[in-house]
């Protein structure tokens, strides 16, 4: 199609263009529908029917747009004026149209003249407003900026630009809600054979069997059965010596290691020895950004950039140039997911490299295997059930003291004689 | 500008990403056509919708065919080499009494012993389930508090229901203080709140609603961060994926569909429609590669995300009431299902057989969750109580051998 369009605009063999009148404004470099059909017949030696069909497609795909009745994307074989779409707006060069651009376009229209949005545009506007609400300020700001810039152009140019933009968005609305689109993409999805997937369930269940208290019991005893909270005490976040089962779990997957604060601490010590601790620090900072308060996003992004990404940063992380480029570009418009690519890169770096080496080279962590609690001779005599400090209280205390307190049963025992 | 010159054939195959401009919209669908001429004709809305429906159905069939091609073995076949589990005995270890009406929802605290529960009469109670003490109580301004969740820090709870909102209550240390005073409204839907969950931190909440959408909210500002559209009816449940990248969640609805969503983009990335009725509960398998669902069609099903299909159905002819709530044991070997016939059925996930049926509740089981360290599970019921249960006597015959082997007498 673009080959055809380029040929149409050839200075020697292309179409003769002239000024067309649109209401009271004169639009330069326009042609009539008739001109287009004539030219196609001439150039390709085809019938009028075929020329009309081909020309119609050129209009459908936005390479030529009508000046009169812009919403009707037909090629009329009369003196209706048409124009070539500027290559900037060609579908191929700008595809895919982003929701953000479309939102800005709709916002511009809305600001320019209230009620100028057509029904489906109003609908899309509200759907987009809900969906990308977190960047809506940016959208409005951009829209205002663009409107201001366009006011400084000559009227003819401005109308041309508006026509071009309108034509572009008529063709290229992003799929705001499109179930069929979903079906087509799912058809192309990569699927894994059932035998492989199901095998992994066997492996997983087997691997975690002894970690599953309902399947295998737990040591020294299940607190709900024995009323003894030792099992919880020896497994708190920052206990002195971890249990053997807990340490074993760190070797199951990188995620298990990171999810356990003790495992993470051990891993950090290892990375420090390897002079690659900045990777884990970066990952932690990115998690904090992703799950933290919206109000602190900009501040956190700046911190991350300063500490990890800026040239000469104290803890510079080694990311591939493409990801780095993309991230640095994205930092100009910071949002909570801006570090995702970089974070994933570093995560997989640690997972594929540092984590396995840590597993093999690690000196065995000191770990305990708790003794099973002997059940009392009189099983119907229940122990006292001790209460524990509320997590809210523990956190408060931490904030007050600035010291971490181990969470465990304290002296206060408020037992109840509730019936089972 | 680099000139990309596709010929017409390629353009037509790219049609899926372009929309002919004569978009005559009806409802929320863009009229989509594979024939460009359609765009230039007068379009009869009914006619085009019929075409669309036909096209959609053809695609769905194609999709099922594609999925079936890679399904070379059934789960129970692969599980033949695994030892059977025998019969399990589960015992109730705690009964929490205090709600004056139907218990609708509960959630565990990360400290493995505290619980928050909500009920039909608007009461939300925080318990130390271990001692059975009530620690906090809030009365919501609405009835039918269908959703409640504990914050990861343990410092707050979120709840909501017929008020169409999700509110966060910081848990005060001062027992005399009125919790309701510090309440913070976070989520606003246009219909009832069916489920809510904190994401990895106290700062964001994910909600699902009777208005057919799910949404992600910033707790501090109450701002909507992302919304998820795609269900055709009420969304009843959701669960966050325990994956490495931590960016997806699954939801189930009255449209019989279970959808997997990307939290960042708001897109539905996978969809499963094999249930025959409302999906009341969804829960991820511990590895994050699959999820289970419980439905009013009296079955629980397992869906594998990589195979992109349903891989197991847990059902029995004698089970004719809907499953309201499901959860896995820590290793994923057991699936617990709470049902509307007052029972809890425990399934062997791999073999597809039932290993236990638990009685005790005197009305529907409405909610069920495993404790964070897997030592017990809690069920809430319309009989106003919550029960914490775990394994009863383990006989040597049924106990799996292992390095940390031990038994309970």
* pLDDT (tens digit per residue) in A13-28: 888 787 776 667 777 7
Cβ proximity of A306 and A313 under 8 Å: yes
Instruction: Convert the pLDDT of each residue in A341-361 to its tens digit.
Output: 999 999 999 999 999 998 887
Distance from CA of B78 to the nearest CA of A (A): 7
pLDDT of residue B42: 43
pLDDT of residue B10: 41
> Per the CB < 8 Å rule, is B304 touching A198?
yes
Residue count (chain A) = 420
pLDDT of residue A180: 57
DSSP codes joined into one string, A102-120: HHHHHHHHHHHSTT-S-HH
pLDDT of residue B18: 37
CA distance B137 to B117: 10
> For an interface test with A, which of B65, B84, B150, B333 has the most A Cβ atoms less than 10 Å from its Cβ?
B333
Q: How far is CA B340 from CA A14, A288, A397, B94, B380, in A?
A: 75, 41, 44, 21, 12
* pTM exceeds 0.90, yes or no: no
> For an interface test with B, which of A165, A166, A194, A219 has the most B Cβ atoms less than 10 Å from its Cβ?
A194
Pure H helices in A85-154: 91-94, 99-112, 119-131, 136-151
Inform me whether the C-beta atom of residue B131 falls under 8 Å from chain A C-beta atoms.
Answer: yes
ipTM of model: 0.80
- More confident call, A33 vs A375: A33
Inform me whether the C-beta atom of residue A189 falls under 8 Å from chain B C-beta atoms.
Answer: yes
pLDDT of residue A140: 83
pLDDT of residue A127: 77
pLDDT of residue A219: 84
Measure CA A267 to chain center. Answer: 28
Of B363, B362, B355, the residue nearest B392 (C-alpha): B355
Distance from CA of B274 to the nearest CA of A (A): 16
Instruction: Convert the pLDDT of each residue in B39-72 to its tens digit.
Output: 334 444 455 667 777 887 888 788 788 778 888 8
pLDDT of residue B23: 30
pLDDT of residue A407: 36
- More confident call, A70 vs B88: B88
Could you write out the three-class secondary structure of B292-310?
Answer: EEEECCCCEEEEECCCCEE
> Per the CB < 8 Å rule, is A57 touching B36?
yes
Instruction: Convert the pLDDT of each residue in A384-399 to its tens digit.
Output: 788 888 787 765 555 4
pLDDT of residue B275: 96
Residues of chain B predicted below pLDDT 70? 1-49, 175-176, 245, 393-409
What percent of chain A stands above pLDDT 90?
A: 23
If you average pLDDT over every residue of chain A, what do you get? 80
Average pLDDT over residues A179-188: 62
pLDDT of residue A10: 84
pLDDT of residue A30: 84
pLDDT of residue B170: 92
> Per the CB < 8 Å rule, is B229 touching A177?
yes
Instruction: Convert the pLDDT of each residue in B77-110 to its tens digit.
Output: 888 888 888 888 899 999 999 999 999 999 999 9
pLDDT of residue B81: 86
Touching B: A residues 4-33, CB under 8 Å:
6
Question: Can you tell me whether residue A21 is helix, strand or coil?
Answer: strand
Touching A: B residues 375-394, CB under 8 Å:
375-377, 388, 390-391, 394
Q: Which residues of A touch B33 (CB under 8 A)?
A: none
Instruction: Convert the pLDDT of each residue in A319-346 to its tens digit.
Output: 888 999 999 988 888 888 899 999 999 9
Of A74, A132, A88, the residue nearest A106 (C-alpha): A132
pLDDT of residue A218: 87
Helix axes A99-112 and A136-151, enclosed angle (nearest 10): 60
pLDDT of residue B281: 97
pLDDT of residue B294: 97
Rg over CA atoms, chain B: 24
Angle CA(B94)–CA(B201)–CA(B105) in degrees, nearest 5? 35
Q: What confidence category does residue A255 fall into, taking pLDDT thresholds of 50, 70 and 90?
A: very high
CB pairs under 8 A between A and B: 348
Inform me whether the C-beta atom of residue B315 falls under 8 Å from chain A C-beta atoms.
Answer: no
Cβ proximity of A38 and A82 under 8 Å: no
> Per the CB < 8 Å rule, is A416 touching B224?
no
Of A36, A39, A96, A102, the residue nearest A67 (C-alpha): A36
Which positions ≥6 away from B172 have C-beta within 8 Å?
A392, B136, B179, B182
- Chain A, nearest residue to B270 by Cα: A186
CA distance B214 to A361: 46
pLDDT of residue B230: 92
Measure CA A187 to chain center. Answer: 22
């Amino acid at each position: 199609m673009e080959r055809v369009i380029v040929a149409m605009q050839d200075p020697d063999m292309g179409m003769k263009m002239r000024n067309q009148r649109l209401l009271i404004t004169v639009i330069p470099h326009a042609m009539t529908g008739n001109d287009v059909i004539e030219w196609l017949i001439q150039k390709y030696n085809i019938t009028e029917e075929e020329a009309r069909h081909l020309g119609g497609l050129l209009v459908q795909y936005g390479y030529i747009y009508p000046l009169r009745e812009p919403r009707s994307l037909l090629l009329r074989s009369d003196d209706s004026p048409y124009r070539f779409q500027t290559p900037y707006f060609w579908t191929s060069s700008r595809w895919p149209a982003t929701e953000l651009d479309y939102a800005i376009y709709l916002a511009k229209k809305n600001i320019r003249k209230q009620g100028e949005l057509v029904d489906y545009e109003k609908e899309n506007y509200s759907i987009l407003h809900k969906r990308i609400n977190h960047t809506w300020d940016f959208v409005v700001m951009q829209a205002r900026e663009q409107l201001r810039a366009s006011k400084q152009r000559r009227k003819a140019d401005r109308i041309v630009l508006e026509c071009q933009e309108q034509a572009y968005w008529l063709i290229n609305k992003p799929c705001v809600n499109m179930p069929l689109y979903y079906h087509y993409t799912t058809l192309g999805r990569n699927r894994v054979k059932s035998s492989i997937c199901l095998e992994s369930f066997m492996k997983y269940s087997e691997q975690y069997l002894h970690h599953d208290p309902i399947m295998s019991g737990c040591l020294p005893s299940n607190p709900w059965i024995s009323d003894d909270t030792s099992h919880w005490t020896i497994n708190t976040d920052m206990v002195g010596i971890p249990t053997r089962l807990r340490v074993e779990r760190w070797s199951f997957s990188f995620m298990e290691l990171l999810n356990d604060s003790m495992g993470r601490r051990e891993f950090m010590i290892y990375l420090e020895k390897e002079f690659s601790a900045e990777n884990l620090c970066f990952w932690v900072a990115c998690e904090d950004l992703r799950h933290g308060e919206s109000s602190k996003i900009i501040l956190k992004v700046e911190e991350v950039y300063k500490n990890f990404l800026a040239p000469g940063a104290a803890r510079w992380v080694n990311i591939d140039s493409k990801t780095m480029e993309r991230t640095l570009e994205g930092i100009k418009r910071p949002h909570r997911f801006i570090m995702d690519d970089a974070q994933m890169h570093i995560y997989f770096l640690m997972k594929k490299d540092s984590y396995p080496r840590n597993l093999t080279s690690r000196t065995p962590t000191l770990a305990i295997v708790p003794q099973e609690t002997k059940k009392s001779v009189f099983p119907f005599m229940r122990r006292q059930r001790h209460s524990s400090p509320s997590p809210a209280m523990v956190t408060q205390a931490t904030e007050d003291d600035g010291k971490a307190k181990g969470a465990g049963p304290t002296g206060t025992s408020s037992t109840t004689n509730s019936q089972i | 500008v680099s000139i990309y010159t596709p010929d017409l054939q390629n353009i037509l195959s790219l049609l899926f990403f372009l929309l002919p401009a004569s978009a005559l919209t009806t409802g929320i669908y863009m009229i989509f056509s594979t024939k460009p001429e359609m765009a230039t004709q007068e379009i009869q809305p009914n006619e085009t919708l019929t075409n669309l429906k036909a096209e959609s159905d053809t695609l769905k069939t194609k999709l099922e065919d594609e999925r079936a091609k890679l399904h070379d073995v059934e789960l129970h076949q692969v599980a033949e080499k695994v030892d059977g589990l025998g019969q399990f005995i589960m015992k109730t270890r705690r009964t929490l009494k205090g709600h004056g009406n139907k218990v609708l929802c509960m959630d565990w605290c990360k400290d493995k012993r505290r619980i928050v529960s909500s009920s039909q009469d608007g009461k939300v109670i925080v318990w130390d389930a271990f001692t059975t003490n009530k620690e906090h109580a809030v009365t919501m301004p609405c009835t039918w508090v269908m959703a409640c969740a504990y914050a990861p820090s343990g410092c707050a709870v979120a709840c909501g229901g017929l008020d169409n909102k999700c509110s966060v209550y910081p848990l005060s240390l001062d027992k005399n203080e009125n919790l309701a005073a510090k309440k913070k409204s976070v989520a606003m839907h246009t219909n009832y709140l069916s489920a809510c969950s904190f994401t990895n931190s106290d700062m964001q909440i994910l909600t699902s609603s009777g208005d057919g959408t799910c949404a992600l909210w910033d707790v501090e500002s109450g701002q909507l961060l992302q919304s998820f559209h795609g269900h055709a009816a009420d969304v009843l449940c959701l669960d966050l994926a325990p994956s490495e990248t931590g960016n997806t969640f699954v939801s189930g609805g009255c449209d019989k569909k279970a959808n997997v969503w990307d939290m960042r983009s708001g897109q539905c990335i996978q969809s499963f429609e094999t249930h025959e009725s409302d999906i009341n509960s969804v829960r991820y398998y511990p590895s994050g590669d699959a999820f289970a669902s419980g439905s009013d069609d009296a079955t629980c099903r397992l869906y594998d995300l990589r195979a992109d299909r349903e891989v197991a159905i847990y059902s029995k002819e004698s089970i004719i009431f809907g499953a309201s709530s499901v959860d896995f044991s820590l290793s994923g070997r057991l699936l617990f299902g709470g049902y509307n016939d007052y029972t809890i059925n425990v399934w062997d996930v791999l073999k597809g057989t039932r290993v236990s049926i638990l009685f005790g509740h005197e009305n529907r089981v409405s909610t069920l969750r495993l404790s964070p360290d897997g030592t017990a599970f809690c069920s809430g019921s319309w009989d106003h109580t919550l029960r914490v249960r775990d394994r009863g006597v383990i006989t040597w015959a049924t106990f799996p051998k292992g390095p940390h082997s031990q038994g309970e007498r």
